[in-house]
């Protein structure tokens, strides 16, 4: 039942900038692992596969938290939920900062993943407190500052880890998260719940969480499937059972977490397939390029320090930051299918090029920047296309599934790449053979290229 509520209180620029600063702080905390992953692997004695798991743990939590945060925001108000989510994020940052080993660091990353659910809550707040035109600008400010925070984290993580310690690269942004959360709490007025009868499909949430965890365990066990067939087979059976149970629960629930009828639309299921494939390619490059930078210069690598890696990755962070607005303009002028086809072609070409041409630093810098630009263009176009394919009441759930699919694609790409490097590690050393990197890039390029076959189905579904 919908309740009659008083008009929301208008907010000033200070409240919006507080949201933006909070987004920047969370973006910084989110991005510190990628440029320092080789350092973390050495200090915590992690294998490449364990490093891959560390790099995607936060995203898995985010995929689970996002739909829950939306439901709670409807029930209790966006600000109420955001402040509490940020308390969880701050706790995760503290755990990561103090972590003496990999299991504790993984726990910290799980808690930090709650930050992903806070972004939609920011958008809820600005839409409730601002007119349509001003809210669009405010959403752009918040989104841009999150990406800007990610760029800052990429740059600062290496110098802080080398100059102070890996502990401080988590602690400093966590302190910023606490301060900016207090600013939001003080400056942003409370927003009334939009609905009084909002319910959470807890069985669906629990089953989806179990599906994601089991899927990740299966991906990690896949390289050893021949050596441990019972374990891998058991995970596959468990995954199938969980998916079957989740489908049944969603079909019978009066308020399902996901309306499964959405998947009957070609424009939607093809969107998710394309998103998955593109994110596999993106994740592979995100994982493989820093590893290749880190390999000793005495071999085929460059012996780059964490600071150097952060600097080398900066162009790709800038490319990712401009890809969203660029994609929006391109979609409006040329259409989603044309933008997607171009983006996928650019990404595929860059991945194949990196597979066979990576003897100079600039090869990797340019290739990674092109991949980041193409990926951002494709994902933004995919979100726009997905939103246009459903009625207004289903926009939230349809686009949130793009986020979940993005996480799954990223997780699959990182885990497969980590497994390829582990399988290609030279006997008696911790250094993968150069051919392992070639194989990883080729696999990513092939998966990305296959998504071109789905674009025709996407176009037909929209026309229908």
CATH number of the domain residue 120 falls in: 1.20.1250.20
Say if residue 73 is in the same domain as residue 60.
Answer: yes
Give residue 376's pLDDT: 81
Say if residue 337 is in the same domain as residue 363.
Answer: yes
SS3 call for 432:
strand
**Among the listed residues 437, 399, 281, the one whose alpha carbon sits nearest the alpha carbon of residue 344:** 281
Say if residue 228 is in the same domain as residue 340.
Answer: no
* The two three-digit tokens of residue 246, written as one number: 């989740």
For the segment 399-445, what is each residue's pLDDT rounded down to a tens digit?
A: 667 767 777 788 788 878 888 888 887 776 778 888 889 999 999 99
This model's pTM is above 0.95: no
- Residue 68 domain-assigned? yes
Say if residue 208 is in the same domain as residue 116.
Answer: no
What's the distance, CA 112 to chain centroid?
A: 13
- The beta strand positions in 159-272, using DSSP E, are none
Residues 6+ apart with CB under 8 A from 325: none
Phi-psi sector, 45: left (phi>0), alpha (psi -120 to 50), beta: left
- Residue 151 domain-assigned? yes
Give residue 127's pLDDT: 64
Say if residue 214 is in the same domain as residue 343.
Answer: no
Domain count, the chain: 3
SS3 call for 425:
strand
- Residue 1 domain-assigned? no
Residues 6+ apart with CB under 8 A from 399: 383, 386, 387
Q: Which residues of the chain have pLDDT under 70?
A: 1-12, 49, 70-71, 74-75, 120, 123-124, 126-144, 147, 192-200, 216, 219-220, 222-225, 257-259, 324-325, 328, 383-384, 387-388, 390-400, 403, 428, 456-464
Task: Decide: 232 and 219 in contact? Cβ < 8 Å.
Answer: no
- Residue 263 domain-assigned? yes
Say if residue 75 is in the same domain as residue 153.
Answer: yes
Give residue 174's pLDDT: 92
Residue at which a domain ends, from 165, 190, 215: 190
Say if residue 14 is in the same domain as residue 43.
Answer: yes
Task: Decide: 398 and 263 in contact? Cβ < 8 Å.
Answer: no
Say if residue 128 is in the same domain as residue 163.
Answer: yes
Q: Whole-angstrom Cα distance, residue 134 to residue 369? A: 32
Task: Decide: 2 and 195 in contact? Cβ < 8 Å.
Answer: yes
Say if residue 94 is in the same domain as residue 183.
Answer: yes
- Residue 3 domain-assigned? no
- Residue 396 domain-assigned? yes
Q: Where would I find the H helices in 113-165?
A: 115-129, 132-163
Give residue 12's pLDDT: 66
Residue at which a domain ends, from 256, 273, 302: 256
Say if residue 167 is in the same domain as residue 186.
Answer: yes
Say if residue 356 is in the same domain as residue 459.
Answer: yes
Say if residue 412 is in the same domain as residue 267.
Answer: yes
Give the residue numbers spanning the domain of 241.
202-256
- Residue 4 domain-assigned? no
Residue in this structure with the two tokens 């709650």, named with its chain if needed: 114
Residues 6+ apart with CB under 8 A from 211: 239, 242, 243, 246
Calculated CA dihedral for residues 104, 54, 318, 384, nearest 10 degrees: -110
Answer positive or negative: Cα dihedral of 16, 91, 34, 403.
negative
Helix (H) or strand (E) holding 337: helix 336-356
Task: Decide: 278 and 284 in contact? Cβ < 8 Å.
Answer: no
Give residue 3's pLDDT: 45
Q: Whole-angstrom Cα distance, residue 410 to residue 416? A: 10
- Residue 196 domain-assigned? no
């Amino acid at each position: 039942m919908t309740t009659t509520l008083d008009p929301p209180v208008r907010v000033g620029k200070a409240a919006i900038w507080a949201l933006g600063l909070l987004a920047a702080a969370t973006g910084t905390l989110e991005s510190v692992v990628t440029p320092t992953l080789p350092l973390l692997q050495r200090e915590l004695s992690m294998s490449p596969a364990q490093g891959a798991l560390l790099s995607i743990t936060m995203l898995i939590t985010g995929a689970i938290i996002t739909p829950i945060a939306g439901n709670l925001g409807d029930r209790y108000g966006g600000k109420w939920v955001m402040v509490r989510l940020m308390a969880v994020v701050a706790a995760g940052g503290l755990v990561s900062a103090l972590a003496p080993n990999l299991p504790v660091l993984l726990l910290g990353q799980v808690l930090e993943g709650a930050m992903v659910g806070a972004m939609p809550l920011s958008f809820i707040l600005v839409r409730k407190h601002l007119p349509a035109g001003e809210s669009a600008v405010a959403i752009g400010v918040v989104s841009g500052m999150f990406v800007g925070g990610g760029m800052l984290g990429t740059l600062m993580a290496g110098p802080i880890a080398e100059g102070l310690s890996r502990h401080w690269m988590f602690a400093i942004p966590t302190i910023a998260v606490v301060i900016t959360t207090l600013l939001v709490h003080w400056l942003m007025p409370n927003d009334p719940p939009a609905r009084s009868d909002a319910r959470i499909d807890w069985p669906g949430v629990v089953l989806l969480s179990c599906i994601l965890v089991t899927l990740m365990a299966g991906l990690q066990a896949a390289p050893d499937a021949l050596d441990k067939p019972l374990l891998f087979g058991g995970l596959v059976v468990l995954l199938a059972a969980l998916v079957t149970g989740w489908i049944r629960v969603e079909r019978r629930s009066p308020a399902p977490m996901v309306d499964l009828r959405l998947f009957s639309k070609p424009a939607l299921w093809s969107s998710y397939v394309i998103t998955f494939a593109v994110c596999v390619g993106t994740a592979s490059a995100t994982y493989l390029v820093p590893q290749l930078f880190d390999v000793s210069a005495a071999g085929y690598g460059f012996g780059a320090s964490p600071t150097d890696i952060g600097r080398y990755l900066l162009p790709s962070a800038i490319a990712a930051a401009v890809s969203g607005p660029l994609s929006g303009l391109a979609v409006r002028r040329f259409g989603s299918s044309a933008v997607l086809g171009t983006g996928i072609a650019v990404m595929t070409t860059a991945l194949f090029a990196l597979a066979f041409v990576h003897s100079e630093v600039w090869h990797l810098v340019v290739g990674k920047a092109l991949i980041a630009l193409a990926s951002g263009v494709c994902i933004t176009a995919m979100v726009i296309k997905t939103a246009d394919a459903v009625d207004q009441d289903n926009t939230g759930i349809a686009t949130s599934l793009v986020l979940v699919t993005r996480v799954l694609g990223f997780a699959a790409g990182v885990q497969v790449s980590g497994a390829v490097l582990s399988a290609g590690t030279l006997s008696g050393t911790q250094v993968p053979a150069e051919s392992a990197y070639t194989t990883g890039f080729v696999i990513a390029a092939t998966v990305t290229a296959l998504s071109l076959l789905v674009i025709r189905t996407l176009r037909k579904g929209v026309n229908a």
